[in-house]
């Protein structure tokens, strides 16, 4: 069953059409790589999924529930948006950690805020906070940061900060974890440690949409690849199909340019 279906998604900024009817679906446990030149609309697509942008057309369906249907004209309230957003985790290019909080605090903060209104929290605050901290530690252990729980962001390398950002996203158990060029802001020697974490997530069947310029990595970890150009999905298929046997001229040119530059 598809965990995510995107149908006819459109986004216009004024008269600029940035997404021109995007369709795709993602199975539970599947990783999708989204590739394409700068300016093709990849970030805008992820921002629409995360309700950071409001699409101007189309539908977003998660687990068979239509969470956004632009044609219905229904305006979602803050609570609905917050709830919808929880289906998606987002790891940005820049890590965006809170500088005044430790590694563990950065990871547990959102969960603590979410639990604050529950009956359980009101009755058993200490137990709930302890449980959240334990879970935060477990997730940080998975991304290889159990030695850095009490460090502040400025004490961590870029690769470590990005792993904290991944742990923070995992902490909320999103249905779909999205990455927007997660290694583009890193020094080359630090990209490997972040890609390794994402690779591990793919191996444990985390459902992911990964925007990346790391083509070899995209080929290795993804189950399907979408190539996007000027707001349109030009080509899609298995990594083998898209990278080894592209059929569209635009895909061929994009890949050729990429591998020439490397």
Chain centroid, CA 99 distance in Å: 22
When CB distances are held under 5 to 8 angstroms depending on the partner's kind, the choice from Mg ion, ligand ADP, none that residue 44 binds is: ligand ADP
Query: Measured from the CB of residue 217, what is the shortest distance to Mg ion in angstroms?
Result: 17
The alpha helices in the chain, defined as continuous H runs, are 42-49, 78-85, 103-115, 119-123, 125-142, 158-170, 188-203, 215-221, 239, 249-261
Query: Measured from the CB of residue 120, what is the shortest distance to ligand ADP in angstroms?
Result: 39
d(CA 60, CA 67): 6
Query: Measured from the CB of residue 180, what is the shortest distance to Mg ion in angstroms?
Result: 6
Nearer to ligand ADP, 133 or 213 (CB): 213
- The residues that bridge with 224 in the sheet, in sequence order, are 32
Binding region for ligand ADP (CB under 6 A): 13, 16, 18, 36, 38-44
* Near Mg ion in 16-75, by CB under 5 A: 42-43
When CB distances are held under 5 to 8 angstroms depending on the partner's kind, the choice from ligand ADP, Mg ion, none that residue 251 binds is: none
When CB distances are held under 5 to 8 angstroms depending on the partner's kind, the choice from ligand ADP, Mg ion, none that residue 161 binds is: none
Q: Which two tokens stand for residue 81?
A: 């948006």
Nearer to ligand ADP, 41 or 58 (CB): 41
- The residues that bridge with 88 in the sheet, in sequence order, are 176
When CB distances are held under 5 to 8 angstroms depending on the partner's kind, the choice from ligand ADP, Mg ion, none that residue 58 binds is: none
d(CA 191, CA 15): 37
When CB distances are held under 5 to 8 angstroms depending on the partner's kind, the choice from Mg ion, ligand ADP, none that residue 239 binds is: none
Query: Measured from the CB of residue 42, what is the shortest distance to ligand ADP in angstroms?
Result: 3
d(CA 159, CA 95): 9
The alpha helices in 31-124, defined as continuous H runs, are 42-49, 78-85, 103-115, 119-123
**Contacts with Mg ion, residue ranges (CB under 5 A):** 42-43
């Amino acid at each position: 069953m598809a965990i995510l279906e995107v149908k006819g998604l459109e986004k216009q900024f004024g008269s600029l059409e940035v997404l021109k009817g995007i369709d795709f679906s993602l199975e539970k446990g599947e990783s999708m790589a989204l590739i394409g030149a700068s300016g093709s609309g990849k970030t805008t697509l992820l921002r629409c999924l995360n309700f950071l942008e409001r699409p101007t057309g189309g539908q977003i369906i998660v687990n068979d529930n239509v969470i956004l249907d632009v044609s219905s004209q229904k305006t979602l309230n803050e609570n609905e948006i917050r709830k919808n957003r929880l289906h998606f985790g987002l790891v940005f290019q820049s890590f965006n950690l809170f500088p005044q909080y430790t590694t563990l605090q950065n990871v547990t903060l959102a969960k603590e805020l979410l639990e604050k209104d529950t009956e359980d929290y009101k009755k058993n605050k200490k137990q709930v906070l302890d449980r959240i901290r334990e879970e935060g530690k477990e997730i940080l252990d998975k991304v290889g940061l159990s030695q850095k729980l009490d460090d502040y962001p400025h004490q961590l390398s870029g690769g470590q900060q990005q792993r904290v950002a991944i742990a923070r996203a995992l902490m909320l158990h999103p249905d779909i974890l999205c990455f927007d060029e997660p290694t583009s802001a890193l020094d080359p020697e630090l990209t490997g440690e972040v890609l390794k974490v994402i690779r591990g997530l793919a191996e444990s069947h985390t459902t992911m949409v990964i925007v990346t310029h790391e083509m070899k990595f995209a080929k290795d970890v993804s189950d399907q690849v979408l190539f996007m150009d000027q707001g349109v999905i030009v080509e899609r298929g298995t990594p083998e199909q898209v990278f080894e046997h592209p059929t569209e001229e635009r895909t061929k040119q994009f890949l050729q340019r990429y591998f020439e530059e490397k």
